[in-house]
Amino acid sequence: MTTPPPQQQPGAAQQQQAALAAAEVLAGAVTVGSAAAALAAVFAAIGVRAAALKSALHIVMNQPPDRAGFHGTAGAQAARLNLIRRAQFLVTSSRRFAADQARVLSGGDPFALRGAMNRERRYYGMHLDAMWNRARAAEQADLAAADYGPLLGWYTRCDARTSPECLAANRHNFRVDRMPAIGFPGGVHLHCRCAPGPPFPGAPVVSDRSGVLRAAFAPRG
Question: What are the residue ranges spanned by the domains of the chain?
Answer: 12-135, 149-209
- Flag whether pLDDT at 6 surpasses 90: no
pLDDT score recorded for residue 221? 40
User: How does residue 70 score in pLDDT terms, banded at 50, 70 and 90?
Assistant: low
Please compute the mean of the pLDDT values over residues 180-199 and round it to a whole number.
96
Q: Higher pLDDT residue, 99 or 9?
A: 99
- The pLDDT tens digits of the residues spanning 19-30 come to 999 999 999 988
CA angle 100, 106, 112 (to 5 degrees): 35
CB atoms closer than 10 angstroms to residue 81: 21
pLDDT score recorded for residue 219? 43
How many Å is the Cα radius of gyration of the chain? 20
pLDDT score recorded for residue 67? 58
pLDDT score recorded for residue 13? 87
- Flag whether pLDDT at 50 surpasses 50: yes
- Type of residue found at 205: V
Of 72, 97, 91, 82, nearest to 27 by C-alpha is 82
pLDDT, mean over the chain: 88
User: How does residue 68 score in pLDDT terms, banded at 50, 70 and 90?
Assistant: low
- Flag whether pLDDT at 170 surpasses 80: yes
pLDDT score recorded for residue 1? 44
pLDDT score recorded for residue 8? 53
Please compute the mean of the pLDDT values over residues 105-126 and round it to a whole number.
91
- Flag whether pLDDT at 75 surpasses 60: yes
What is the three-class DSSP state of 208? strand
Please compute the mean of the pLDDT values over residues 109-125 and round it to a whole number.
92
Please compute the mean of the pLDDT values over residues 53-76 and round it to a whole number.
83
